[in-house]
Each structure stands twice: as C-alpha cells, then as structure tokens.
Amino acid sequence: MGEIVERRDRSLDLDTFRESVTDSFVPLETSIAPDTDFEGHIHGTSLGQVQVAEVVASAHTVRRTPRTIRASDPGFYKVGLQVRGYCVLTQDDREAALTPGDFAIYDTTRPYQLSFDDRFRMLVMMFPRELLRVPPTGIAELTARRISGRQGMGALVAPFVKDLGERVFDTAPAVAVHLNDAVLDVLAAAFAEQLQITDSLSLESRHTALRVRVGAFIDDHLSDPGLDTTMVAAAHHISVRHLQKIFEADGTPVGGWIRERRLEQCRRDLLDPRLCHLPVAAVGARWGFSDPAHFSRLFKARFGVTAGRYRSAGGALDQPVD
C-alpha cells in the first residue's frame, strides 16, 4: 500500500494535497474549478492490511484514469463513508450520490471519479481485493451503488466505521491491527446482504457481524433498566448460550459488557458541565442504574473513587481499576 500521510492538523494547498492523495491511496488526478480557493487535509493509519484515512477538504474532483492505473495498479478495493457533505461516485457506468451516513465500494483497477461540490469529510478504507470474503463477481455488481447507513447492515456499518474513524488515529498500533478482521467481516456482511448471499459468508464473518449488531443494540438500550442478557438474546432471536459464546472471544460476558458501557456513559456525564445540575444518582439512573447504592459501589470499584468525588475533581482522580 501507499505511504500513509498524517497531516490532520494543518491544511494543505492544492499541489501538496494532490501529492498526499496519491501517496495515501493510489495515483489519482485531482482538480478544482477555476478561481476556487482550496484547503484540505488527509490523516491516515493502518489496521494491518486495511488502511483507514480521513479526508477533509474543499470542493474538488478526483479521477482514477487509464493513465493513473497504468502508473500503479495494486488491485485494491476502497470503501468511502460520507460523514459530512455530499459526494457523487461514478464507476462502471453507475453513479452513487452519497449523503452523510451512506457508503459505497469502488475498485482501483478500473476508472472511477469522486466529485465533491462543497466542503466535506469522508472516511476511506482501502485494502487488497482478495481480503474481502465476497465473490469478486458480486462486488462488480455493487461498485458505485449507494448503500444507506439507515437500514439493514448499513445501519450498523455506518456508525461502526464512523466510531472507528473517531478512535483509530489515537489507538496503539498493536491494538489497531486486531481491528483488521473485524472491519473486513462487517463490510463483507453488508455487501453480502446487498447481494442476498449471506449464507455464503464464513461462520467467523457472520459471528463478527452479529457481534457488531448486538453491540449497537446494547448501546441503544443502555438507559433501559431491564436491559440484560435475556433481553439482548431475545431481540436477536438467539439463545442466551449462543449470545455468550459470541462474547467469549473478548473475554467479557454480556452482562459485564453492558455494565462497562453504562459506567463509561456515567463517567462522561459526570464531567459534562451541562449536566452539573443533576444529582449523582440521577446520572446513574440516566443509564439504567435504578439503585443508587448499587451504582455507587460499581462506580467506585471501576474507577477507584466515588462518583461524587470523581465529579468534584473533574476526572483528575480517574484511575481505572483493571
């Protein structure tokens, strides 16, 4: 893969941006409308063989042409998730109009074009074609087709990738590399759903996709005091035993995962000045801890101090207990 360019904190002029685009991805032609001011940046990192890049820039167009393909043809797929702004992706005589939350796949071995008519933010994942466990003939049917981030597997992939984009650049390389397979499995599940071939996915890929779906469900229901292992299993039409097996690889049982996610939300709320008027017990209740004494014990066990002391210290006493 190309060199990953880390220039997140300063804007680049057009010429430098052009070089960064090619260095970060594959050779591309970048152009802007005449008499247009331009600024942008690219920030990227690697998750094993999956490259993740954040692109923020003014209006412009990038093209993968026969000439740039001849210059370098490594055989990658790219998946772009629109986070802010609007994009039109063209490949294989198809056109995908992407709005925030939408994503699409495209193939660097054939010409394509991305047009941005205003300032935007996009997260781009690039990886060798052979790593995506979906038949190439199937992917050829999906290039430049909009996949909505508001329904089906797309509704899980979009927030998963967006959250990845928020966290991955600050994640230690030794940890980030373990996300490689998770990203590929989730994308494979989304594309297989589009092709209606989910039965052909490996058991591992199906488990990963289900794990992401369960995690999203838990995050959406943390405020419900009734959220427990039985509720999660029933919502996904699987047995409690099957659900527990899915979480075994992480070393944390489902109940422990729910508790940890709730405590993390409480920790954040205790530091939020907009919520300073809420009593500590009310903060716990916001995230499903209906028993104040139970919440107090759990918080102190997890963070080493009481919730009240943690709030008054502004988090300075934050010493998580492993």
**Which is it for the CA torsion 252, 253, 254, 256, positive or negative?**
negative
For the chain, what are the domain ranges? 14-220, 229-312
pLDDT of residue 3: 43
Share of residues in the chain with pLDDT > 70 (%): 87
Q: Tell me the pLDDT band of 318, cut-offs 50, 70 and 90.
A: very low
**Which is it for the CA torsion 46, 50, 54, 59, positive or negative?**
positive
Question: What is the Cα–Cα distance from 281 to 212, expressed in whole angstroms?
Answer: 30
**pLDDT per residue as tens digits for the range 146-157:** 999 888 888 888
- Strand pairing class (76-84; 94-98): unpaired
| Inter-residue contact 38 to 58 (CB < 8 Å) | yes
| Inter-residue contact 139 to 77 (CB < 8 Å) | yes
pLDDT of residue 7: 42
Contacts of residue 292, defined as CB under 8 A and 6 or more positions apart, other chains included, come to 280, 281, 284, 285
Does residue 112 have a pLDDT over 50?
A: yes
Its pTM surpasses 0.75 = no
**pLDDT per residue as tens digits for the range 253-288:** 889 889 998 998 999 899 888 999 999 999 999 999
Q: Tell me the pLDDT band of 174, cut-offs 50, 70 and 90.
A: low
CATH T-level fold of 229-312: Arc Repressor Mutant, subunit A (1.10.10)
Pick the CATH number of 14-220 from 3.30.390.50, 1.10.150.530, 2.60.120.10, 3.30.2180.10: 2.60.120.10
Instruction: Report which of 144, 129, 161, 19 is spatially closest to residue 89, judged by C-alpha positions.
Output: 144
Q: Tell me the pLDDT band of 176, cut-offs 50, 70 and 90.
A: low
More confident residue, 6 or 244: 244
| Inter-residue contact 66 to 112 (CB < 8 Å) | no
